[in-house]
Each structure stands twice: as C-alpha cells, then as structure tokens.
A and B are shown apart, each in its own frame.
Chain A
Amino acid sequence: MAALKIKKGATSHSAYNLRPNFSDVVEKHTLAVLVENEPGALARVIGLFSGRGYNIDSLTVAEVDHTGHLSRITIVTSGTPQVIEQIKAQVGRIVPVHEVHDLTVEGPSVERELAMFKVICKGEHRVEALRLADIFRVNVVDSTLESFVFEITGAPEKIDAFAELMRPLGLADVARTGVAALARGV
C-alpha cells in the first residue's frame, strides 16, 4: 500500500473509532475505498449507497494497481457523524473491499478535480473569458472563432468559482470528473 500513499489509520482493529460522536451536524467527508477490481464491485458500493439512503456528492473510480487488480473509488459523501461512521462500516464489510479511508479525518489530504467548460462567446466576452482563464491557470484545449473549451484542474471550490465566472460569458456545457484525493505526507 505504501506505493499508493495510503496510511493505515482509523480503520484499524480497535473499536475505539466506533465511540459515538453526538453531533447532529451534517458533514462532508471524502472516502477512499480500495476494492478488488472485479465485475460488479462498483455496483456493490453504489447499490449500498442507494439501498441505505446515503448521499453521493461525487464519485470517481479507476484501476490504480493493475497487477494487484485494485481499483480506487473516491466518494464524497455527506451525513451526520453517526451516518458517516455507518457508511464506512457498511462499505468496509463488502467482501471485495480491502480498505476504507476517511481522508477528512485521517489527517491532511489533497483533493483535485478536472473539469472542462465549453464557452460560446464573441467580442469582448471572448477576451474576458481568456483573461480569466489565464488568471485561473486554465488550459484552452479547443477553440473555434465562436467558442472555447477550457480545461481546469483544482480543488472543487476553484472549479465552482471558475464556472460562476464563465456563466455570464456564455457557458454552454460542463464536464467534471469528480474528486480524486490522497493523504498528504508519507
């Protein structure tokens, strides 16, 4: 697991992490789930969320270890601390799931998302769109005389902010990957 920069953390053998937290505040958590890359593995995780009424704010999945047949699912979810604990326990008992990490509580982590925006605009708007793209360090990956496709990578908040700026300038289409996240440090 060292190669994947995943720390053994709160999901150890102690049940102390099951001590109740009495807050009823809804929190947003980013979970990293390492799962055997077998048919239906993603369906099991998603089916659990829909079947038990949990939220999925975003979800990304891809194979990360070809020889070990492991996929990494990054789920951003929200719920009270009790619900979040329950989600982790429920995901953790899915048979092909190797590890569940709550990156929100297991120390600092980095989150990144990639998005593409199609902006259709002419004249002044075109100039403004390019200027903002430059400020956000956004790449232009396609251009016609009437449109751009911008590619942006960053924290979800940064992508939200750029989307808001593009809206009045002629934002026509958006594609977002959802969050990928890793714990910081070793």
Chain B
Amino acid sequence: MKRQMTGAKMIVQALIDQGVDTVFGYPGGAVLPIYDEVFQQNSIKHVLVRHEQGAVHAAEGYARSTGKPGVVLVTSGPGATNAVTGLTDALLDSIPLVVLTGQVPTFMIGSDAFQEADTVGITRPCTKHNWLVKETDNLGATLHEAFHVATHGRPGPVLIDIPKDVQFATGSYESPKPSTSRYQPQVKGNMEEITELVAAMETAKRPIFYTGGGVINSGPAASQLLRELVDATGFPVTSTLMGLGAYPASGDKWLGMLGMHGLYEANMAMHDCDLMINIGARFDDRITGVIDSFSPKSTKAHIDIDPSSINKVIRIDIPIVGDVGHVLEDLLKVWKSRGRKTNSEGLAKWWSKIEEWRAKDCLKFTQSGKVIKPQHALTRLEALTKDHDRYITTEVGQHQMWAAQYLGFEEPNRWMTSGGLGTMGYGFPASIGVQMAHPESLVINVAGEASWLMNMQEMGTAMQFGLPVKQFILNNERLGMVRQWQELLHGERYSQSWSEALPDFVKLAEAFGAKGIICSDPDDLDDAIMEMINYDGPVIFDCLVEKHENCFPMIPSGKAHNEMLLPGDHETQGVIDAKGSVLV
C-alpha cells in the first residue's frame, strides 16, 4: 500500500519498517528535517555521539555484536567526510552498515554550497554501494534496497545521500516487500566442488581449518556447523583475528589465532599442512607472511561468498563460492553420507606433531618485579571476566594483539576489533555501540593510551546514555607497535612514537563524571579489575604497564610462517631484510 509522506518521515518510517531500534548520529543543517521526525517518535533510539567517526564505529560495534546492520545519520559536508574512516573500516571488515547523509538541496548541488561535499564521489570507493536520491518518490525503495545490499552477499557499508529538498518534499512510500532486488548473490555452493573437498578431507594426512570473519558474518548457525564439523572430523582449527569466537577457545581442536602475531602451533600447522580449508577468510597479508613460502605443500580449498576473494592472493585448488553456513551444511551432509571418513592414522601423527609445537608454549611470560606486564594484565582480566556475559572491543596496536592472544572467546559476536583497516580510535566508540545493543552485559574496550585518545570525546556519549563501558587502557606511554617496529627495523630510533603530555586518566574520568582507576602494582591488579567490573557506570582504567615490552610471537615482515620470532628471541636486530622492510 502506498502512502504519501515527506521524505524525512519516509526515512524514519523505513528505518522502523526495517526493524531498526538504534541510530547513531549527529545533527546538522542538511539533516534537520530528519531530526525533526526523530524528535516526534519513540520507536527508534537516537544515540548522539560527539564526532561522526564515533557514530560509524559505534554502529560497527552494534552490528558486529548483534548481526544486524548498524545505522548512522549524519549531516552533509564535514558530517559525511568524518564518516569516511568508519566506512572504510566497515568495508574492509565486511560489516553491514546503512549510513544516511544529508546533502545540500538538489538545485544547489555543484555550486560549492555551504557544507557541500561530493559525498557519493568521496565514498564510492569506501562503500559497498551508495546512492544520491534526487526524488522523494524514489527514497523509500532506495532505503529498502540499501538494507538489502548491506546485509546480503558479503556484508558491507552502504550510504544514501539525501538532499534537503528531498527530505522536505512529499512522495509516495511503500513498506518493504519480500525482496524484489536484483542483487541476489549466490549462497549455495556447487555440489561437485563440495564433494571434491570432502574427498580431499577423507584422505588428508595433515588437514587444517583456517577460519575467518565470514563464519561470524554468516550467522550463529554457521558457527554451530563449524563446531560440528571440527569435532566430527577431529581436524585442527585456527582462525584469523576477525574469526575469533566462531570456534570456542576452550575447544581441544583449537590452535589459537594464526598470522603475524598468531600462535606458533597455528602458524607451523598452516605451513606444514597438506590440506588447507579456508572458511570465510581472505588470505590477508597479516595471515600469509611472504606469499612465495606460504604453506608450500598443501592443497588449498577456499569457501567464500565473494568470488573476488578467491585466487586474489593465493592460488586455490578447490574454490567454492557460497555462504559459509550453506556450504558447511552441504559439506557435512556429503561427508556423513560418504561414511564419515578421515585418515585417522595420518591425523594421529599430525596431532602429535602439533603437540610438539604446542609444547613450545609460545605465549609464556614471566610476571616478576613491580611493573605489570601487559600480558599479565590481560591474563588477569581474562580470569576475572571470562565467566561474565562479556563483550570485548579493542583499539589497534600491541594491546590488540595481546588481547587476541590472551583472551578466550567462546561464542561468535563477542569480539569487536578493527582488523583490515587497523583504525586507532575504533574501540571506544565500538564499545558504546555494543553496550547500546547489550545494556546488561559487561563491555570492555582493551585499549592503548594512544589509540584511546583518538576518540576520547565519546566519554560524553557514554555518560549521557549511562553506558557502563569499561575502558581498560594498557598504558605504556608509547605507540607500542610503532615502537616495536622501530626497534626491529630502524635501529631503535624511536621517532615520534611516545605519548607525551598524557592526561591524568583518573581526573579525566572524573571530569566527565565517570570513575577513574589507576593501577601500577601487580599486587593491586586483581582488586582494581574487580573494582572496575563492579562499578555501575563508565570506568577509565589506567593500567601502567612495562614500557618496552614486545609483542611476540611475530612473523617478521617478509618471512614465512615457520620463521617466527618467539618470546625469548632477544636477537631482534636485523631479522627483517631489505625486502621485508618495505612491507607494512
């Protein structure tokens, strides 16, 4: 049924019809009519951020922790350009977002009007798709299509640019219909190829599942199917940063995260396997190390909903285009119908080899003396929070990698981190988005002090909306990862990689009306963490840690999986050659 309404009303109506309950945004001249409609309704909660970048990251946190698309509403010009980092972040990590931007009225487009920017031009390469809507009659259908595109196929951010006159004008609106969209990516895998993979699984001596964010994006059912598949076959499983939680960290087939700062056993198993089954990951350069020496002896299968991910970086022997959930369902069905075969003799040998690697205990560290090691801080955080209904976000850097190494994730959608883009300043606003979606849960942002300062203005948002987010800052007064690379690559010349003139984080918290906790003594750590958990409100936890701790294990850039640096490898100078040093 078609109804007449203004464009602004249509926007709010479409959001309601799409099941949106929360919008993250910031008003401005070009979105005033929409904000007027937001004012006159109670179905959708609007979270007023303090910077548009924060709105997008908050929406990402909301999306990753719920599996629903995150929604953002910002104004034209600077509102839109401030959203660009978040859009790029969401594109690289395949996070579904619908971002609405105001635009100057259609008759002023191109005149360099006040707060005019070519938003669709600027955001074309950092969205999955975007639209400039020039007629109110097209607005409703475009909004519905935007939700469809953001959430179907490989998820991603979409943007709709809406001129102010289109918001004021009246047009006809229709509620969403079961999808009439032309955009229908393939979700079922080809059965011949699935059967070929099953045959390879039946005989493989040294198989490994290498899983990624695609398992989580596919939905909770995909994680369940993965667990069933891993447990039934007995194959070892590792995951990218983005895929943590799809398989439980407590599972005995779990090798831990792989990649540049992944676990020794995971990387060695990737290097020596004879069958690699990539499920929803994309052979990112943080994962592969140097391509020429990447897993040289393996047959490689790749399950991905995006055909362009296959053979982009690594040549694939068994490509399967499809949604992880659908493909795993068929894969299990075929494997069972053929008699649930595996090469048990080969597998037993493979596991004993893996146990040898595990025995290296690559994450070991010794907490001694009066300075808190960052690994120790996270080990204690894990011990004291793992039984809570817990969500973790992170910023970007050493603390992020330590969090991935020392925290355990038992369920999908519990771990929100900026993987592909590596956006410092992601974690705090993301924690706000997560807490909005899960008001009763314990939401912790594991941060570094430098990253955290990049979006610290969002303290205002946390206070205004009473969001008890815990900011667990591992404060080494350094840009730790930059410093580590300068140590490895640039002769310990620590150019600009220290945090000077840091605020007193306790006073900063108090200035916003939040709680501040500072801890520098390992003996006080547990009590301080408990104080943070038990406080009903936002907390900034300033954890003063060892300043020059390096993050290991590490595949030095330009090296292969079996050339890792381990803790205790003190000879770090000159491990990266000229070829490796140009890599990021």
A contact set with B: CB distance below 8 Å: 13-16, 18-20, 22, 39-40, 43-44, 47, 51, 82, 85-86, 89-90, 92-96, 98
Per-residue A-contact encoding for B119-145, CB less than 8 Å = 1, 0 else: 011001100111010000000000000
Which B residues between 239 and 285 are near A, CB-CB below 8 angstroms?
Answer: none
Interface contact B129-A95, CB-CB below 8 Å: yes
- List A contacts of B183 (CB < 8 A): 95
Interface contact B186-A18, CB-CB below 8 Å: no
User: Whole-angstrom distance between the alpha carbons of A43 and B130 in the complex?
Assistant: 12
Interface contact B307-A15, CB-CB below 8 Å: yes
- List B contacts of A44 (CB < 8 A): 124
Interface contact A86-B312, CB-CB below 8 Å: yes
User: Whole-angstrom distance between the alpha carbons of A15 and B186 in the complex?
Assistant: 11
Interface contact A18-B310, CB-CB below 8 Å: yes
Indicate whether B193 reaches chain A with its CB closer than 8 angstroms.
yes
Interface residues on B, range: 20 to 34
User: Whole-angstrom distance between the alpha carbons of A105 and B316 in the complex?
Assistant: 21
Interface contact B308-A13, CB-CB below 8 Å: no
Interface contact A15-B149, CB-CB below 8 Å: no
Q: Which residue of A lies closest to B145 (CB)?
A: A95
> Closest CB of chain B to A22's CB: distance in Å?
7
Interface contact B306-A93, CB-CB below 8 Å: yes
Which B residues between 277 and 336 are near A, CB-CB below 8 angstroms?
Answer: 306-308, 310-312, 315-317, 319-321
User: Whole-angstrom distance between the alpha carbons of A45 and B18 in the complex?
Assistant: 30
Interface contact A18-B311, CB-CB below 8 Å: yes
User: Whole-angstrom distance between the alpha carbons of A63 and B183 in the complex?
Assistant: 21
Q: Which residue of B lies closest to A38 (CB)?
A: B131
- List B contacts of A14 (CB < 8 A): 190, 192-193
Interface contact B121-A20, CB-CB below 8 Å: no
Identify which of B120, B125, B130, B319 contacts A18 (C-beta below 8 A).
Answer: B319
In the complex, 8 of the A-B residue pairs with CB atoms within 8 angstroms, ordered by the A residue number, are A16-B193, A19-B317, A20-B311, A20-B317, A39-B132, A40-B132, A44-B124, A47-B125
Given contacts A40-B124, A47-B124, contact A92 B311 (CB under 8 A): no
User: Whole-angstrom distance between the alpha carbons of A126 and B282 in the complex?
Assistant: 61
Interface contact A13-B315, CB-CB below 8 Å: no
Per-residue A-contact encoding for B99-133, CB less than 8 Å = 1, 0 else: 00000000000000000000011001100111010
User: Whole-angstrom distance between the alpha carbons of A47 and B393 in the complex?
Assistant: 33
Interface contact B307-A93, CB-CB below 8 Å: yes
> Closest CB of chain A to B283's CB: distance in Å?
13
Interface contact B186-A13, CB-CB below 8 Å: yes
B contact set with A: CB distance below 8 Å: 120-121, 124-125, 128-130, 132, 149, 153-154, 182-183, 186, 189-190, 192-193, 306-308, 310-312, 315-317, 319-321
The list of the 5 closest CB pairs from A to B, nearest first, reads A89-B308, A20-B315, A95-B129, A18-B319, A15-B319
- List B contacts of A18 (CB < 8 A): 307, 310-311, 316, 319, 321
User: Whole-angstrom distance between the alpha carbons of A15 and B182 in the complex?
Assistant: 21
> Closest CB of chain B to A92's CB: distance in Å?
7
Q: Which residue of A lies closest to B306 (CB)?
A: A93
- List A contacts of B321 (CB < 8 A): 13, 15, 18
Q: Which residue of B lies closest to A20 (CB)?
A: B315
Q: Which residue of B lies closest to A43 (CB)?
A: B124
Identify which of B125, B129, B308, B310 contacts A51 (C-beta below 8 A).
Answer: B125
Given contacts A15-B190, A15-B321, A19-B319, contact A92 B308 (CB under 8 A): yes
Q: Which residue of B lies closest to A81 (CB)?
A: B311
User: Whole-angstrom distance between the alpha carbons of A95 and B142 in the complex?
Assistant: 13
> Closest CB of chain B to A38's CB: distance in Å?
8
User: Whole-angstrom distance between the alpha carbons of A54 and B320 in the complex?
Assistant: 25
Apart from A16-B190, A98-B182, what are 7 other A-B pairs with CB-CB below 8 Å? A18-B307, A18-B316, A18-B319, A39-B132, A89-B307, A93-B154, A95-B129
User: Whole-angstrom distance between the alpha carbons of A20 and B149 in the complex?
Assistant: 29
> Closest CB of chain A to B77's CB: distance in Å?
19
User: Whole-angstrom distance between the alpha carbons of A39 and B118 in the complex?
Assistant: 13
Q: Which residue of B lies closest to A51 (CB)?
A: B125
Given contacts A82-B315, A92-B307, contact A15 B125 (CB under 8 A): no
- List A contacts of B319 (CB < 8 A): 15-16, 18-19
